[in-house]
Chain A
Amino acid sequence: MKKNWIEKNLNAFSIKPNLMEYFHERESFNWENVAKEFDGLDSGGLNIAHEAIDRHANGPLCDKAALIWLGENGEKKIYSFSDIKKQSAKFANVLQSLGISKGERIFTLSTRLPELYIAAIGILKNRSVLCPLFSQFGPEPILQRMQRGDGKVLLTTKALFEKKVRPLMKQLNDLRYVLLIDAQEDESERILSLPRLMEKAADSFTILPTDPEDMSLLHFTSGTTGMPKGVVHVHKALYNHWMSGRYVLDFHPDDVYWCTADPGWVTGTSYGIITPWLHGITNIVDEAEFDAVRWYSVLQNEKVTVWYTAPTAIRRLMRLNNEPTKEYDLSHLRLIQSVGEPLNPEAVVWGVEKLKMPIHDNWWQTETGAIMIANFLSQQIRAGSMGRPLPGIEASIVHHNDDGTVTEVTEPNKEGELALKPEWPSMFRNYLHDDERYAKCFVGGWYLSGDLAYKDEDGYFWFVGRSDDIIKTSGHMVGPFEVESCLMEHPAVAEAGVIGKPDAMIGQLVKAFVSLKTGVEPSEELKRELIGFGRKRLGSAVAPKEIEFTPNIPKTRSGKIMRRLLKSREMGLPEGDTSTLED
């Protein structure tokens, strides 16, 4: 393994990394010092929107580019911190004029348009809660999340509204308003034109007192057994955002930063909106989907210095089989970080060979709110490892005992569940309306991540797999239960069992095993029909990409689907313990 260790020459950095000595930084770290980095509100408390935008707009950075937006068709729009302050104030005033108040949930369903980024800050200014949805969700995941999150307002586009939300309107009783980003006129008293409202709204807004523990964001994440869970975050999470921006993304004042994640997922909000702006950094947003040539051009033309991307994209770039540094001027780029799923060692090595710099993997979850474990710019990289815990974060491996307790594993290289010591500022505060599920995440003074891992002699953590059946596809979590429930609504389906099938490009793909009702014959046509059925209801991000018919779905005697067994069969592995399998 040692050949995949990448050493760093501390004298070779043109810009000195913020974290030079890992152990020294950990020892000297304290959260009180992080607190000093923020203004706080004149009215009292701490609000993400003020710290990310308004305080910069009120100071020397007012004219600096906060957002550089690249449109799909070549347009480019630049918004200064002052512009975002005014526009987000308008959005906050719009919410206020509609009677939307503190703590109420505002859902967003949009492609990466500037309005989405402006609205995110406006929502936080109004002390409402930002709940982002991924634009490629189908109607069912949208309905589930909006109902569970008690959505009061939805910000979306005309096309997405028509296709996905209009048919749901009767089921969304709590939803008071839909704000259409691209409609010039109101459609009704409930479906309104955002441009019209923004035009008449004032461009200043005083943020009212915000308790650091007030809810700020609600992101939904998938569970194994039930429907998605609403992960509650609070304004104080910005401590971790700021701190990881300093240590992991190594922000310096002149950086130009590009996070390729969509704000429909937690990376796209924590690191695609909040963190760069907390540091007063210029943030690049590209509206278009992945295209290798386009991405290299963005890195070159926008002179990106810090790039936060994902393994799926890196593996696509590897397919290009070119010499990127000869074809593009990537000389400004000084740091690449990756998240979403473990980065395979080949990709790290590819970075060294082709991009002339290694790619740094890191680890965190929706629940942790911010990066917890990382490979740092100044530190040795062990390719395939997620790195070491950030200053202020205590991580370990725990073993589950038969009596329900856990014991910390102190022996190196021994597999167990990756656990974190509560509490850090960006730790989730609850699963919305589900205290019981939240409580189950904490055992014996540890937050249990659900990821299996081991820690080597030097404290580097290595991902092994999930302890549950959650699927990680293109870096996104998909809950098998949500997919199974949908398929079982099809009249031909008796039962369904859904697994993540390993895939070299996207990590895992969603595969469904389906048993048919008596009298229904399996056919290629039916397979296609089921794929279409899934896509229509769940959307392409969640729907199964493969269907396999099977006479029956293996279940335990108590009726639980044995997805582990389906997965072993799919991969041709030994079936393991089948003593609980029903006859």
Chain B
Amino acid sequence: MTQEQIKSAIIEQILEIAPDIDEADIIPDKNIQRSLEIDSFDFLKILMNLSEILGVEVPESDYAKVDTVDHMCAYFMEHR
């Protein structure tokens, strides 16, 4: 998967869990949970869905490294 594909998979999963969000409101360098009001339960669900799609599991200890769309994208690129 290319970086662009990973990024769109992330955005797709955010919109899947929080369909009220406008795609335009997803700012790649903003904290996902804070800026989009995704609670930690939903955040966990997004990461679980992504780990199924991308085959990369994010351990709880690395959650700070996937706080923004940009960081999440870089993380999946590095660990795929």
Tell me the A residues contacting B by CB distance below 8 Å. 72, 111, 136, 288-294, 312, 316, 319-322, 474, 503, 505-506, 509, 528-529, 531-533, 535-536, 539-541, 545
Contact = CB atoms under 8 A, between A and B. Distances in A.
B18 interface: yes
B61 A322 contact: yes
A292 B19 contact: no
Listed residue (B19, B38, B44) with the most chain A CB atoms within 10 angstroms of its CB: B19
Given A289-B34, A474-B41, 18 more contacts: A72-B34, A290-B40, A291-B63, A291-B67, A294-B64, A320-B59, A322-B61, A474-B39, A506-B41, A528-B19, A529-B19, A532-B19, A535-B20, A536-B20, A540-B18, A540-B37, A540-B42, A541-B39
A292 B40 contact: no
Interface residues of B, number: 20
Given A289-B34, A290-B40, A545-B42, A528 B16 contact: yes
B33 interface: yes
B31 interface: yes
Nearest to B39: A540
A529 B16 CA distance: 10
12 contacts: A136-B39, A291-B67, A294-B64, A474-B41, A506-B41, A531-B19, A535-B19, A539-B37, A540-B18, A540-B38, A540-B42, A545-B42
Contacts of A72: 31, 34
Interface of B: 16, 18-20, 31, 33-34, 37-42, 44, 59-61, 63-64, 67
A319 B37 CA distance: 23
Nearest to A543: B20
Contacts of B40: 289-290, 312, 316, 474
A86 to B, nearest CB: 30
Nearest to A533: B20
Contacts of A474: 39-41
B74 to A, nearest CB: 17
B32 to A, nearest CB: 10
A320 B58 CA distance: 11
A320 B60 contact: yes
Nearest to B33: A289
A39 to B, nearest CB: 40
A533 B33 CA distance: 19
A293 B64 contact: yes
Nearest to A541: B39
A294 B19 CA distance: 29
